[in-house]
Chain A
């Protein structure tokens, strides 16, 4: 079920829940940028801060690790590709392929940065209501003319809402097929085909149900958004994050 996946909003009363969405959006951008320039020490600091923030806002360490089960394959690929393709002093060699020390270092750095970005996004999605994300996006786009801010904001909050639905549906479909003995088929193309099409069909049917539900509730683009307000806490947090980022960049 959807509540088991970590990419969902969880109600709570932590500091992160209380901060203004617009500030959280700024933090997201700042930390993503900073992680590009960060190395071992800075990355460990960032990881510690983020994991602490996540645990403070009510996610257990176990479910954080569980979230990374999905991305660990991609991380492994990036790491291997880097380890094999970067020139430098050779650690191990096998025929034409050689693993270099620099490759391992850069691969690890890139994977670590990716982890940071995912953690940041996770703590954002976890502590922000979709309607607040929508309001913040709308606020960001409002100064630009000719952009239908309301519709784009709706679409973006729908998109964030659909991510756990897709993961959920993928799990459900895979479980159903395992129960019917798909493991006996070794051909990966066959299995992907049998997984992909029902999965896509079912997510689209769910989207269809959502559209019907929205219509039944007389959805229109002119609706009252949650009021965004910033307090002293937001500015303190902003100062903290900016200082942290400046220290990391200049170090």
Chain B
């Protein structure tokens, strides 16, 4: 029974990693900056798989990117991406998905907690991403936030709004 559960979670975690990779190539043209769906699937990994398997899913995704498979948004894969300007965001996905998973595991699966978990997750992603961007470019904190955070907030609100019904629809499939 335990082995069955583990196998299913392995398959689901791989599927979410694949969806994250596909999401990196899907952009929705709303607002000033196109919304890339990558982080939507990061949120969903946390919500659907929980902390441990969520981290496994995102870890596999990042490793595939580091090995050079074309899975990252906006371009060049390979380990060099982690040192590039968006590297902070990529590494921020790991603690973010852990925290989202942890919050949903500890609380009952209610919309309020889901939204709270995802807001925490986005804060973690931005704090990692913006601080790395600041170190790399040497801009002031305010200016880094103008470049690396404010344009994406609208998109994140929409993604959180989209993740809630998707998580609601998929939870019965995952945990029957």
Q: Which residues from chain A sit less than 8 Å from chain B, CB to CB?
A: 25, 28-29, 32-33, 35-36, 70-71, 73-74, 77-78, 81, 110, 113-114, 117-118, 120-121, 124-125, 137, 140, 151-152, 154-156, 158-160, 162-163, 165-167, 192-193, 196-197, 200-201, 203-205, 207-208, 210-211, 214-215, 219
Contact = CB atoms under 8 A, between A and B. Distances in A.
B4 interface: yes
A148 B58 CA distance: 15
Interface of B: 4, 7-8, 10-15, 17-19, 21-22, 25-29, 33-34, 56-57, 59-61, 63-64, 67-70, 73-80, 162, 165-166, 169-170, 173-174
B61 A207 contact: no
Contact of B166 (A25, A33, A113, A197): A197
Given A77-B34, A160-B18, A196-B162, 16 more contacts: A25-B67, A28-B78, A32-B76, A35-B76, A154-B14, A156-B60, A156-B63, A158-B18, A159-B17, A159-B18, A159-B64, A162-B15, A200-B170, A207-B11, A207-B14, A215-B7
B28 A192 contact: yes
A70 B4 CA distance: 36
A47 B26 CA distance: 24
Contacts of B26: 74
A114 B29 CA distance: 20
B22 A32 contact: no
Contacts of B27: 73-74, 77
A78 to B, nearest CB: 6
In the complex, the 3 A-B pairs of residues with the closest C-beta atoms, listed nearest first: A158-B14, A162-B18, A121-B70
A29 B10 contact: no
B79 A29 contact: yes
Given A155-B56, A166-B19, A210 B11 contact: yes
Nearest to A167: B22
A32 B17 contact: no
A28 B65 CA distance: 11
A113 B11 contact: no
A33 B121 CA distance: 31
A214 B74 CA distance: 35
A129 to B, nearest CB: 15
A120 to B, nearest CB: 8
A117 B75 contact: yes
A228 to B, nearest CB: 15
A159 B61 contact: yes
A14 B165 CA distance: 47
A167 to B, nearest CB: 7
A28 B68 contact: yes
Contacts of B77: 32, 117, 121
A177 B106 CA distance: 38
Contacts of B59: 152
B74 A114 contact: yes
